[in-house]
Chains A and B, each alone.
Chain A
């Protein structure tokens, strides 16, 4: 698809042609057998189809002649390399800063991830017509405003790479909640892998890939058999995927040697330290805290400060951590209240802890995370004087999840 978009300079033409080529393949392959290079067959067939279409239109004839002249020199040479370059170019087009983040994500999944519009819509919990409209508008803008298919120059790269990495990270994170999650997470990793292969000199691209691999390595341990959430400290580390960890750690080591740190690399390094430890107690929290110091300097946000405070609790105790957490302005962030609750619990203040868990549950997205937090309200509340049932009910009423 990326190749065809480059050749025709038009997403719709390419999409239609690919669809036709697949339809033809469905008819032909069962009869004639699989061609030796199915991917190449689709590209060639789609290209020929698109050329047929363009020939039929007067406007198309002009466009076609122009494209063929412009691209004549591209036909030979390393086909595979050219296809890879096309994908990279398209990634930068899809994630052009002139497009909204929603459009960037949608286009990336649709054009590079090969998801259908319905699948993209499902992943982001919007109606299919809404997503279809969003994609049409974005494609129209690419065409009307002449957003180029080009890998940005060295000078532009830092600014242009940022949304690309952010989109992949968002796609991965969308896969940790939505119903079609597995596919999204794998797609994010696949694209991150593809980009890191194409841009081996970009440390943050490698950092993102390592971060995604390290996060994904713990996926099987994140949920109990009944579907409830398991915290890092309680996870069965035997379930962690050692192959992914080894790959992620190798990337982190290469990043350290390169010594051009950035937020994704540092987060990957933090995860690498966790992966090294046999248990939560055996974790090198001093090193994790040092990495969080570095991360906070690189991206000084309240969420990073919160995570740093959680690490600090392991090094200097919950008291010092709570003092830091209470200074943060994250009133609407459920993990802020969850972190406070955990610190209050450890400080022997179960009533305050239960209240904070209840607030966290109110704000949490529905599903495993909220269920987990509501469970903690009960658990902590039962050690307090105040009846936890009252808090739990209050919380469920507030969040509208109470069933009659």
Chain B
């Protein structure tokens, strides 16, 4: 079954309307319910939320030496904030899950297909 990365991008320092406790709790419950739905239908493979981009570290080879620097690797305003890895029959099914996620978290979702490794 094809796998897809559903990535959630966050914008650094984006002034978001602060959520009330009640809103936060509702949003949390919705996310939990959605993940439960993903798991029970067999679509969920893995999911995670990431710390802000200024907590990232980059290692790279330079002149044969591994150099460690303060990250992130890409100097951009938008960074990966979290992701889901799902299994879906085809892109339409993956987009169906992505639509549900974007509704709950009110942020755009990027849907990326994995390179097939098993030949199916």
The answer to whether A62 and B119 touch (CB under 8 A), given A144-B113, A145-B113, A146-B113, is yes
Mark interface residues in A39-69 (1 if CB within 8 Å of B CB, else 0).
0000000000000000000010011001000
Q: Considering only CB atoms, which chain A residue lies closest to B92 in the complex?
A: A148
Point out the residues of chain A lying under 8 angstroms from B90, CB to CB. Answer: 146-148, 150
Q: Cβ of A146 and Cβ of B119 under 8 Å apart?
A: no
B92: chain A residues within 8 A (beta carbon): 147-148, 150, 152, 156
How many angstroms from the CA of A79 to the CA of B94 in the assembled complex?
Answer: 32
In the assembled complex, the Cα of A77 lies from the Cα of B15 at a distance in Å of 61
CB-defined contacts of A297 to chain B, threshold 8 Å = none
A-contact 0/1 string along B70-95, CB 8 Å cutoff: 00000000000000000001111011
User: Is B2 located at the chain interface by the 8 A CB criterion?
Assistant: yes
Closest chain A CB from B114 CB (angstroms) = 9
| CB < 8 Å neighbour of A148 from B91, B111, B120 | B91
Cβ of B61 within 8 Å of any chain A Cβ, yes or no, is no
List B contacts of A278 (CB < 8 A): none
Q: Indicate the size class of the contact surface on chain B.
A: 10 to 19
Find A145's partner among B89, B91, B119 (CB 8 Å cutoff).
Answer: B91
Closest to A149 in B: B90
Q: Which residues of B contact A98 (CB under 8 A)?
A: 91, 95
* Contact B95 A144, beta carbon cutoff 8 Å: no
Indicate if B115 sits at the interface (CB-CB under 8 A).
yes
B115 engages A144 (CB within 8 Å): yes
Give the number of chain A interface residues (Cβ < 8 Å).
14
Cβ of B109 to closest chain A Cβ, rounded Å: 13
Bound-complex Cα distance A59 to B117 (A): 12
Bound form: Cα–Cα A43–B111 in Å: 35
- Give CA–CA (A147, B94) in the complex, Å: 10
Kindly state the separation between the CA atoms of A148 and B113 in the bound complex, as whole angstroms.
Answer: 13
Interface of A is mostly: loop
Q: Which of B90, B91, B115, B119 has the most CB of A within 10 A?
A: B91
Chain A hits for B111, CB < 8 A? 145
In the assembled complex, the Cα of A96 lies from the Cα of B113 at a distance in Å of: 16
* Bound form: Cα–Cα A146–B119 in Å: 13
Q: Check B91 against A59 for contact (C-beta < 8 Å).
A: no
Would you list which residues of chain A between 218 and 238 have a CB under 8 Å from chain B? none
Distance between Cα atoms of A274 and B113 in the complex (Å): 50
Residues of A within 8 A of B113 (CB): 144-146
A 115-157 binary contact with B (CB < 8 Å = 1; else 0): 0000000000000000000000000000011111010100010
> Judging by beta carbons under 8 Å apart, are B95 and A146 in contact?
no
Chain B window 102-120, contacts with chain A (Cβ cutoff 8 Å), 1 for yes, 0 for no: 0000000001010100011
Segment 142-184 of A: residues with Cβ below 8 Å from B = 144-148, 150, 152, 156
A66: B residues at CB distance < 8 A: 120
A193→B90 CA distance, assembly (Å): 29
For residues 53 through 92 of chain A, which have their beta carbon under 8 Å from a beta carbon of chain B? 59, 62-63, 66
CA distance A144 to B113 in the complex (A): 6
Q: What's the Cα separation between A59 and B116 when bound, in Å?
A: 13
Is the pair B2, A59 in contact by a Cβ cutoff of 8 Å? no
Give chain B nearest CB distance to A337 CB in angstroms. 38
Q: How far is the CA of A145 from the CA of B115 in the complex (A)?
A: 9
CB-CB nearest in chain A for B120: A66
CB neighbours of A145 from chain B (8 A): 91, 111, 113
In this complex, what residue of B is CB-closest to A58?
Answer: B119
Q: Which chain B residues lie closer than 8 Å to A59 at the CB level?
A: 119
Expressed in whole angstroms, the Cα–Cα distance for A146 and B4 within the complex equals 10
Contact yes or no, B119 A147, CB < 8 A? no
Q: Which residue of A lies closest to B88 (CB)?
A: A146
Which residue from chain B places its CB closest to the CB of A142 in the assembled complex?
B91
With a 10 A CB-CB cut-off, give which of A63, A96, A144, A150 has the most chain B CB atoms.
Answer: A144
- What's the minimum C-beta distance from A375 to chain B, rounded to whole angstroms? 49
The interface residues of chain A lying within 8 Å CB-to-CB of B120 are 66
Chain B residue contacts of A62, Cβ below 8 A: 119
Q: How far is the CA of A308 from the CA of B119 in the complex (A)?
A: 56
Contact of B91 among A63, A147, A156 (CB under 8 A): A147
The smallest beta-carbon distance between A18 and chain B, in angstroms, is 24
Q: How far is the CA of A170 from the CA of B71 in the complex (A)?
A: 46
Give bound CA distance, A66 to B120, whole Å: 9
User: In the docked arrangement, what's the CA distance between A149 and B119, Å?
Assistant: 19
Of the A-B pairs whose beta carbons lie under 8 Å apart in the complex, a sample of 5, sorted by A's number, is A62-B119, A98-B91, A145-B91, A146-B91, A152-B92
Interface residues of A (CB under 8 A from B): 59, 62-63, 66, 96, 98, 144-148, 150, 152, 156
A-B pairs with lowest CB-CB distance, top 4: A148-B90, A145-B113, A146-B90, A146-B2
- With A144-B115, A146-B2, A148-B89 known, 4 other A-B pairs at CB within 8 A are A62-B119, A98-B91, A145-B91, A146-B90
